[in-house]
Chain A
Amino acid sequence: MSGRQHQMSLKNKGGAPPWADVMKSYFSEGHQLFAALQMEPSKIDKDGVSVFATIPDFFSYKDGDGSAHPGAYTIILDTVFGFSVFAKIQQPKAIATINLKTDYLRPIEIGSKVICSAECHAVNGNIARTRGDIFDYDGRPLASATGAFMIASGGPDFARLAKGRPT
C-alpha cells in the first residue's frame, strides 16, 4: 500500500489534463478495492491504459490450493476498462458497465503480479466499447475481455469528486 500517492503523476508531467485528476483521486483516496489489488497505473493515454495489479490473498477459493478465483480478472478488467474510457473521452463523466465478457485463458496463483492493458476502441453516441488483456510478467496471456460502457450525459459527478477531495 505504500507509494500510492505518486502513482498518477507519471505520464502527466506536462500539465495534467482535467480527467487525470479524476483517476488520481480514485487511486489516492484510499479506494479499498483498488488498494487491495495494489493497482498502479503505468500508462494512461487515448491509445490505451496499462495498470499493474497483484492478486490479493482473499481470492483463494479452494482448500489446500494456491489458485485464485478468476473473478479477480474481471475486477481488474472492469476497472481498467473504465479508465480507458476516461482516457479516450478525456472528460470526467460518470460511466457504467453495460456488459463484460471475459475469457479465462490461464489460472493464476494468489500473490501473482499481473499487467492489464486495455483500450477504448470505439465511442458511438454515449456507448463506449473496450477491449483488453491481462498478462503475467512473463508475457503469457491470462485473460482477455471486451466491455461496453454507458457514458452519462450529465455527469459532473466525477469532476466534483476530484475537486471536492484535493489530493
Chain B
Amino acid sequence: MTRFANSPLRHWLRFEAEEAENGYLYSITPDEAHIGNPLIKALHGGVVSTFLELAALHELRCTLGSDADGEAININVDYLKSVRLSPLFARARIAKTGRRLVFIDCIAWQDNDGSPVAKAACSIALLR
C-alpha cells in the first residue's frame, strides 16, 4: 500500500509494519551492517533516525490515505539509551495534521514499550 513497500531501504533495515489493535507497530531487525559503535555493538544513531522517519511516513499514508505523500522537513531525535543489536520497535502518533504540514511523534523501544530507547519528532510537508 505504500510506495516504499518493497524498497531497497526497507529490505536493508528489514522494516516491517504490522497492523495491531491500537495502530501500526513498526519494527526493524538490525545486524552488523547497522552498527555505529563496534565496541558496544550499538546501533548507529542515524539508522535509528532513518527507521523512525520511515515509520512516520508510513503512519502518514495509513492515516491520510495511500495517495498522501510527504517530504520530511526536519527530524529531531532524542537517544534515551544505547540501542542493542536486537529487534527495535516503534509506534508513530500524528500530533497535528494541517493542510500543508503534518507533525508526527515516534517512540522506539526494544524489550518492552515501557522502556523507550529513542523518540523522534518529525515535521513533514504534504505534497499534493
**Could you tell me which A residues sit within 8 Å of B by CB distance?**
26, 29, 31-33, 36, 57-63, 69-79, 94, 96-104, 107, 157-158, 160-161
Q: Write out the residue numbers on chain A whose beta carbons fall within 8 Å of the beta carbon of B35.
A: 31-33
Beyond known contacts A94-B40, A101-B77: 12 more, CB 8 A cutoff: A32-B33, A61-B4, A71-B47, A71-B54, A74-B46, A75-B47, A79-B44, A100-B49, A102-B75, A103-B73, A157-B39, A157-B40
- In the bound complex, do residue A63 and residue B46 qualify as a contact, i.e. CB atoms below 8 Å apart? no
A157 to chain B, nearest CB (A): 5
**Could you tell me which B residues sit within 8 Å of A by CB distance?**
3-4, 6-12, 32-40, 42, 44-47, 49-51, 53-54, 71-79, 82
Q: Write out the residue numbers on chain B whose beta carbons fall within 8 Å of the beta carbon of A101.
A: 74-77
- In the bound complex, do residue A61 and residue B7 qualify as a contact, i.e. CB atoms below 8 Å apart? yes
- State in angstroms the CA–CA spacing of A163 and B34 once bound together: 24
B38 to chain A, nearest CB (A): 6
A55 to chain B, nearest CB (A): 11
Instruction: Output the nearest chain A residue to B46 by Cβ-Cβ distance.
Output: A75
Q: Write out the residue numbers on chain B whose beta carbons fall within 8 Å of the beta carbon of A158.
A: 39
- In the bound complex, do residue A61 and residue B75 qualify as a contact, i.e. CB atoms below 8 Å apart? no
Q: Write out the residue numbers on chain A whose beta carbons fall within 8 Å of the beta carbon of B37.
A: 94, 96
- State in angstroms the CA–CA spacing of A114 and B32 once bound together: 24
Q: Write out the residue numbers on chain B whose beta carbons fall within 8 Å of the beta carbon of A99.
A: 76-79
Indicate whether A107 sits within 8 Å of B71 (C-beta atoms), given known contacts A57-B8, A58-B9, A63-B7. yes
- State in angstroms the CA–CA spacing of A108 and B79 once bound together: 26
- In the bound complex, do residue A79 and residue B74 qualify as a contact, i.e. CB atoms below 8 Å apart? no
Q: Write out the residue numbers on chain A whose beta carbons fall within 8 Å of the beta carbon of B75.
A: 74, 101-102, 104
A-B contact pairs, 14 of them (CB 8 A): A29-B38, A32-B33, A33-B34, A61-B9, A71-B46, A74-B77, A78-B49, A94-B37, A94-B39, A96-B79, A98-B79, A100-B46, A102-B49, A157-B40
- State in angstroms the CA–CA spacing of A101 and B121 once bound together: 9
From the candidates B8, B38, B39, B78, name the one contacting A61 in the complex (CB within 8 A).
B8
B48 to chain A, nearest CB (A): 9
From the candidates B9, B71, B79, name the one contacting A97 in the complex (CB within 8 A).
B79
- State in angstroms the CA–CA spacing of A61 and B6 once bound together: 8
From the candidates A26, A33, A60, A98, name the one contacting B78 in the complex (CB within 8 A).
A98
Instruction: Give the interface centre of A29, A77, A100 by most chain B CB atoms within 10 Å.
Output: A100
Instruction: Output the nearest chain A residue to B69 by Cβ-Cβ distance.
Output: A62
Q: Write out the residue numbers on chain B whose beta carbons fall within 8 Å of the beta carbon of A96.
A: 37, 42, 79, 82
Q: Write out the residue numbers on chain A whose beta carbons fall within 8 Å of the beta carbon of B76.
A: 99-102
